[in-house]
């Protein structure tokens, strides 16, 4: 079985793929200096609740955008599961060209999203990932990765609004009942929610204009369902895109990794 690890800026997601289905997935807050032993104590116990033991794992793949966390995640795989993890990087066999100025600087999560999306959906396409940052990643009609857009994530925007404006409270994100808020909190929620809907629609429209083609838009990430309900610019919702992309990448590169 494959242990897939998606280490983002906010959370690290662990999941086990048995070759046909996900057997379990578990999430923990990203702490860059968390040790391999700390991961193991938490993860092995959760795996046991789902009927899995470390000996079930015969391969591992890591997509990590937090460099300081990578060392201990690799040690976890090596010391506790007895496997050398495949770490996503631009020089692996992706099955497509990475046509950016510096392929090495493209986030691992963005590339695995593009890999999974181009297998499932017609090109050209754009993947919107609602994470710590809101990213748009574009695959052209030939199936090559050509770059994208990075905007502040929704929660970052909420934190900035609260910290910079002393009179404004900290709020949670939600779809407001009306665009025009009749008190402070609904007005803030409307600004954030409909502001991001406008960002989604505007950037998607500009991507299509730049490519001079209709583009398939796929949303992933925790807040993707909330925003898909507010716009027709998103065509597909795919919450497992990153993990599924890791599986596809591992399958393409497993012999080289071994």
Q: Which residues are catalytic?
A: 109
Q: Of the candidates 82, 16, 85, which has an alpha carbon nearest to the alpha carbon of residue 47?
A: 16
Residue whose token pair is 């695959």 = 139
Distance (Å, whole) CA 91 – CA 93: 7
The encoded tokens of residue 217 equal 């838009």
CA–CA distance from 87 to each of 1, 61, 71, 218 (Å)? Answer: 17, 6, 11, 25
Is residue 216 a contact partner of residue 127, using CB atoms and an 8 Å limit?
Answer: no
Burial of 172 (0-12, 13-18, 19+ CB in 10 A): exposed
């Amino acid at each position: 079985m494959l242990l897939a690890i998606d280490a983002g800026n906010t959370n690290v997601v662990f999941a086990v793929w048995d070759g046909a289905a996900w057997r379990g997935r578990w999430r923990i807050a990203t702490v860059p200096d968390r040790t391999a032993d700390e991961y193991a104590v938490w993860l092995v116990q959760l795996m046991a609740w789902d009927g899995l033991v470390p000996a079930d794992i015969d391969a591992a793949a890591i997509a990590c955008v937090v460099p300081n966390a990578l060392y201990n995640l690799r040690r976890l795989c090596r010391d506790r599961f007895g496997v050398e993890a495949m770490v996503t990087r631009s020089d692996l066999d992706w099955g497509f060209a990475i046509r950016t100025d510096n392929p090495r600087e493209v986030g691992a999560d963005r590339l695995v999203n593009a890999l999974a999306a181009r297998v499932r959906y017609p090109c050209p396409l754009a993947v919107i990932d609602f994470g710590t940052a809101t990213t748009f990643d574009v695959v052209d009609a030939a199936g090559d990765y050509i770059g994208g857009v990075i905007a502040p994530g929704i929660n970052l925007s909420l934190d900035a609004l609260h910290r910079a404006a002393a009179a404004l409270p900290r709020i949670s994100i939600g779809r407001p009942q009306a665009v025009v808020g009749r008190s402070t909190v609904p007005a803030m929620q409307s600004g954030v929610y409909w502001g991001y809907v406008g960002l989604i629609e505007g950037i998607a429209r500009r991507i299509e204009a730049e490519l001079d083609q209709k583009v398939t838009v796929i949303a992933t990430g925790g807040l993707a369902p909330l925003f898909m309900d507010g716009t027709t610019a998103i065509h597909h919702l795919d919450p497992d895109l990153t993990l599924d992309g890791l599986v596809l990448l591992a399958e393409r590169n497993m012999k080289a990794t071994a």
